[in-house]
Structure 1
Amino acid sequence: MNYQDFITIEPGKRGGKPCVRGLRITVYDVLDYLAAGMTPEQIVAEFDYLTLDDIRACLAYAADRERHQLVQGA
């Protein structure tokens, strides 16, 4: 999955945090819902403008950031 097709960063939107497809929902919001126990299907049902691909893109973005942090800190 190429999360770059789904995750956008705009300085004037949500303080420049990474958002899903230019919407006002951040990657952090989606990850927080998952961490709280919501399934991807529940998130999509609650936020009808999100797709399962959006959820996967958030996970891929987070994994990529983590991978880069580990490399820089090594």
Structure 2
Amino acid sequence: MAIERITVDPGRMGGLPCIRGTRVTATAVLGQLAAGRTIDEVLDDYPYLDREDVLAALEFAAAAVAERELPIRPAAA
């Protein structure tokens, strides 16, 4: 599973989920993707990460959303 690349250490980055014990948070990667950057552009910014790390961040986000209630408004009818 790619999600195993996501680590949490209370002493690193305030305990936020990070990629493989680095100081790169999953949210930093996700934020770049949400802003429209491509995986290749993210990897250019973080050359020590690889494609599987970015996909792990996406897998982590999908799992997190599946486990939480989010304040999303119902669609207009």
The TM-score with structure 2 as length reference comes to: 0.84
Unaligned residue ranges in structure 2 (runs of 5+): 70-77
Structure 1 segments, 4+ long, off by >4 Å, are none
Identity across matched positions, percent: 39
Map of 2:47 onto structure 1:
48
Structure having the larger proportion of residues in helix = 1
Matched pairs, number: 69
Alpha-carbon distance in structure 2 between the residues aligned to 1:10 and 1:38: 27
Asked if 1:68 corresponds to 2:70, the answer is no
Map of 2:30 onto structure 1:
31
The TM-score with structure 1 as length reference comes to: 0.87
2:11 alignment partner, SS class: coil
Q: Deviations over 1:5-52 (max 9, x none)?
A: x00000000000000000000000000111111100111122100110
Map of 2:2 onto structure 1:
2
RMSD over equivalenced CA pairs, Å: 1.0
Alpha-carbon distance in structure 2 between the residues aligned to 1:60 and 1:38: 17
Alpha-carbon distance in structure 2 between the residues aligned to 1:2 and 1:20: 11
- Contact 2:12/2:23 (CA < 8 Å) preserved in 1? yes
